């Protein structure tokens, strides 16, 4: 087969139209294109992706292959080899948190599995290779310590709070500071102070993602957070029944009011699949969240059934293992969809050569 029907430069010209999922800038300009080799009708190319984009490898591969084969005449197949591209996070806001994306996980009401989903998103992104922190801002009913099996006051070293680590993931919660059986009575300024301290004075290290488990319903913590640093977006967890959906729509409106973009909705407890027969029972109805998400112009991120193992793992402090349950694949898909929505945002509003330092 005669080579030379297309050149490296032909591929490079097309690659200029491909946006890095993290920054939305073209991958040639950002220096993410490595070696390109051509063998007849086939090509191999190295592409650098940051660990922030790790959940999107399969999607990037497919999109890039489609773009190149459609636009480079004579190119039949291209193999993409990923290499790690390092790009340090810039400090965010006045508090200087070093995280690339900050994701708030909220719900209209309690008990819908918000904390379980927040933890699952954190563990799922970490499983893909991202560096992740998990912050429990559900100050009225912190359940992250219970779900992760963590307890005890974090150490303070040189005025910095050392977060608890779960499988190497830093975790911070009000539940570490107040006994589990004591109600938390907070006034607004105290709450503001506690949340500020969690973000500013905790040794989070350099993060790709900080996942924040929000208190259900109310807007004060969301407002506090949005004043402290730019939040990348909110994920809304709801169950399929109508009353829960109404509250979820209110939560979406609340996030939009404080200018936090809504990344999408997760329908949790979406049907029960009988472990013995495999038959599905739609206890709370089905498809409600997907329909409602479309009505309020919000992406739908996926549905997770009610599963005995998810509840058990939560009660045993092993929520990080939910990916080993039959719903593991659906949960992994939710994580990819969250990362994908952030990439959509970056594509629409590419970040400059310097990531924004707000404050
Ligand atoms: P929230 O944060 O909304 O109050 P939690 O995440 O604390 O809710 O979950 C409430 C309870 O429901 C917990 O016992 C948790 O283990 C359980 N749970 C959450 N999601 C599921 C699910 N998909 N299947 C089974 N149990 C679940």
Residue-by-residue pLDDT tens, the chain, 359 positions: 445 589 999 999 999 999 999 999 999 999 999 999 999 999 999 999 999 999 999 999 999 999 999 999 999 999 999 999 999 999 998 889 999 999 999 999 899 999 999 999 999 999 999 999 999 998 888 999 999 999 999 999 999 999 999 999 999 998 998 777 777 677 777 888 888 999 999 999 999 999 999 998 878 889 989 989 999 999 999 998 888 888 999 999 999 999 999 999 999 998 888 888 888 888 877 788 888 899 999 999 999 999 999 999 999 999 999 999 999 999 999 999 999 999 999 999 887 654 444 43
Say if ligand 1 is within 6 A of residue 112 CB. Answer: yes
Return the closest-CA partner of residue 198 out of 149, 141, 139. Answer: 139
- Ramachandran area for residue 264 (φ above 0: left; ψ -120 to 50: alpha; else beta): left
Superfamily of domain covering 91-348: P-loop containing nucleotide triphosphate hydrolases (3.40.50.300)
Instruction: For residues 307 and 330, give the distance between their C-alpha atoms in angstroms, rounded to a whole number.
Output: 12
Would the pTM of this model clear 0.85, i.e. be above it?
yes
Q: Which atom of ligand 1 is nearest to the CA of 311?
A: 16
Q: How far is the CA of 117 from the centre of ligand 1 (A)?
A: 8
- Residue identifier of the C-alpha nearest atom 12 of ligand 1: 113
Token readout for 307 is: 């599963």
Superfamily of domain covering 12-84: Fe-S cluster assembly (FSCA) (3.30.300.130)
Instruction: For residues 30 and 63, give the distance between their C-alpha atoms in angstroms, rounded to a whole number.
Output: 18
- Residue identifier of the C-alpha nearest atom 14 of ligand 1: 311
Sign of CA dihedral 319, 323, 325, 328: positive
Q: Tokens 């059934």 label which residue?
A: 305
Residues 6+ apart with CB under 8 A from 301: 235, 263, 264, 265, 266, 334, 337, 338, 341
Instruction: For residues 64 and 69, give the distance between their C-alpha atoms in angstroms, rounded to a whole number.
Output: 8
Instruction: For residues 191 and 196, give the distance between their C-alpha atoms in angstroms, rounded to a whole number.
Output: 8
Q: Which residue among 146, 311, 334 has the greatest number of ligand 1 atoms within 8 angstroms of its CB, and so is best to mutate? A: 311
Say if ligand 1 is within 6 A of residue 304 CB. Answer: yes
Say if ligand 1 is within 6 A of residue 113 CB. Answer: yes
Strands 207-213, 132-136: parallel, antiparallel or unpaired by DSSP? parallel
Say if ligand 1 is within 6 A of residue 144 CB. Answer: no
* Domain boundaries, given as residue ranges, for the chain: 12-84, 91-348
């Amino acid at each position: 087969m005669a080579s030379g029907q297309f050149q490296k430069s032909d591929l490079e010209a097309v690659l200029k139209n491909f946006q890095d999922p993290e920054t939305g800038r073209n991958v040639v300009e950002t220096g993410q294109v490595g070696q390109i080799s051509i063998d007849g009708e086939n090509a191999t190319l190295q592409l650098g992706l940051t660990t922030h984009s790790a959940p999107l490898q399969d999607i990037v591969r497919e999109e890039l292959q489609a773009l190149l084969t459609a636009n480079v005449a004579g190119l039949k197949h291209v193999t993409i080899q990923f290499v790690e591209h390092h790009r340090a996070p810039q400090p965010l806001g006045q508090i200087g948190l070093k995280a690339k994306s900050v994701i708030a996980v909220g719900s209209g009401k309690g008990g819908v599995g918000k904390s379980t989903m927040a933890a699952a998103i954190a563990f799922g992104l970490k499983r893909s290779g991202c560096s992740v922190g998990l912050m429990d801002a559900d100050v009225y009913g912190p359940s992250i310590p219970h779900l992760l099996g963590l307890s005890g006051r974090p150490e303070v070293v040189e005025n910095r709070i050392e977060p608890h680590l779960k499988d190497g993931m830093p975790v911070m919660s009000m539940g570490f500071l107040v006994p589990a059986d004591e109600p938390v009575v907070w006034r607004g300024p105290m709450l503001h102070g506690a949340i500020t301290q969690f973000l500013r004075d905790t040794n989070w290290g350099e993060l790709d993602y900080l996942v924040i488990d929000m208190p259900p319903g109310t807007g004060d913590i969301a407002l506090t957070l949005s004043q402290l640093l730019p939040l990348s977006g909110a994920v809304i967890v709801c169950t399929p029944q109508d009353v829960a959906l109404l509250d979820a729509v209110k939560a979406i409106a609340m996030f939009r009011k404080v200018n936090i973009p809504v990344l999408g909705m997760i329908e949790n407890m979406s049907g029960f699949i009988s472990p013995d027969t495999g038959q599905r029972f739609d206890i709370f109805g089905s498809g409600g969240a997907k329909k409602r998400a479309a009505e309020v112009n919000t992406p739908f991120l996926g549905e997770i059934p009610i599963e005995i193992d998810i509840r058990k793992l939560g009660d045993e402090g092993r929520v990080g293992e939910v990916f080993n349950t039959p719903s593991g694949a659906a949960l992994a898909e939710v994580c990819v969809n969250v990362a994908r929505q952030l990439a959509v945002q970056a594509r629409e509003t590419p970040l400059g050569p310097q990531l924004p330092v707000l404050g």
